[in-house]
Amino acid sequence: MPAGDTVMKLEREGAFLIAQIHQLGGRIFSGLLREHRLNEISPAQGRILFVLWQEDNISIQELAEKTSLSKSTLTIMLDRLEESGHIVRVPSRGDRRKILIRLTEKNRALQNSYVKVSKAMIEICYAGFNSREIDAFEKNLRKILGNLKACEKNMKDTA
């Protein structure tokens, strides 16, 4: 290494590990989706559909909050899901300015297969963990997520 060059050494590498897990997990998840003939759904779209399977007929704002996707990214993904017949946009009866996102029957038929893929990912990720370890890990992840959401909010508030 040339003189004067410094090597970046982080004291903690959690965020770097999370980024690696996200990339590798996305590739594995995509492969599982293909194996279950769910080729038309990307992992990112699956995150949107997962939220809608929990609570259908919600606003774009609510969906953005629950998926942590920006509205512009979410809008593009919703366009693709709508074009492929997975969702429809419906004007709210109570507020004409609000658009609700609703699943189609075509999409509901995919839910069971998608749940199988999700369970397979859970088994892969948590291999070798006991229930207490999983609970503690997920508690810490929720804490990190809360920290990141608070930081993002502060950044928006000061911008």
Please, which residues bridge with residue 89 across strands?
A: 101
Question: Both tokens of residue 86?
Answer: 């997975």
CA distance 81 to 50: 13
**β-strands 99-103, 87-91 pairing:** antiparallel
φ/ψ of residue 54, rounded to 5: -75, -40
Q: Is residue 90 a contact partner of residue 99, using CB atoms and an 8 Å limit?
A: yes
CA distance 106 to 120: 23
DSSP 55: S
Q: What is the pLDDT of residue 6?
A: 63
Just give the CATH number of 20-152. Answer: 1.10.10.10
| Per-residue pLDDT in tens (0 to 9) along the chain, 159 residues | 555 556 667 788 999 999 999 999 989 998 999 999 888 888 888 889 999 999 999 999 999 999 989 889 999 999 999 999 999 999 988 888 899 999 999 888 888 888 899 999 999 999 999 999 999 999 999 999 999 989 988 998 887
CA distance 49 to 107: 9
pTM: 0.76
Please, which residues bridge with residue 103 across strands?
A: 87
Q: What is the pLDDT of residue 129?
A: 98
Residue labelled with tokens 């004067």: 4
